[in-house]
Structure 1
């Protein structure tokens, strides 16, 4: 099969169906970018390489079975961010460095500090506990990428109502998930 012409999301799906060659293409597409991003933050090549390998290994171990809401690029970017934060925390070299400028993708050394799959489950559970309308507005904002005006038009409500729902959702998620998990969620 000509994997090279397929999108990342298609490759991830095929990998989940047992097509290991699809993972090889994803690996080739991402490892240099991931290494570059990790090296920018960690500034130690060996640490950066290990974090990238841990990230890619976590994807391999998932066998394509972890649900991806937005895109593979966003998913692997989030995994890398968590790996980097975990490495920084484990090394205790730096207090907390912001990693919000990582636009692309972590999860093995991170297990000591935070298990990515568990966090996803916690976040999804917390979102499902929101009131129905609040949940809908929040998902349209965060998952569909709509702005307040677009949501208001789609739901035939005022922008102030949309803003109130998003504020309410964020407040409840912050309380439910705790400060650290909530910060990580915002960077996802």
Structure 2
């Protein structure tokens, strides 16, 4: 027999599949703090934890129609587990790369090499930003380059804080994909 909590989750999931924003917000408010706390415990980094949780909820919204979820908390915490594993895996790869770099380049070579890489990376980021919609570009630049808070951006652009977070997350995803595709191409 299903518990009242389980039935409530199932009702919210059905509404979510139909694109109901209120159902999505209820799910977000019911689970986001717990997920954030769990993510923070595993990563030790508040910003990383927030990004992971935000990406889980964005994915939930984007894939709402195709998802077949029997246990909403199980699904969300399972997604968190895999996101944390992927984050740790990327850190391990980054550390291995840095170790390789330090073993294979002298300090002077490394300084020059780092300057070239930084310039190339800056150019790639600028190119990927220019491929984004204008509003998304503006939100990202205000957030990351001018260090404005989500609330300040929301007020100045007259959009919701959730919209600001969405634009930032989309920017980061697109920039990562752009850079990844560039390096895969090389």
If you compute each CA radius of gyration, which structure gives the higher value, 1 or 2? 2
Question: More helix per residue: 1 or 2?
Answer: 2
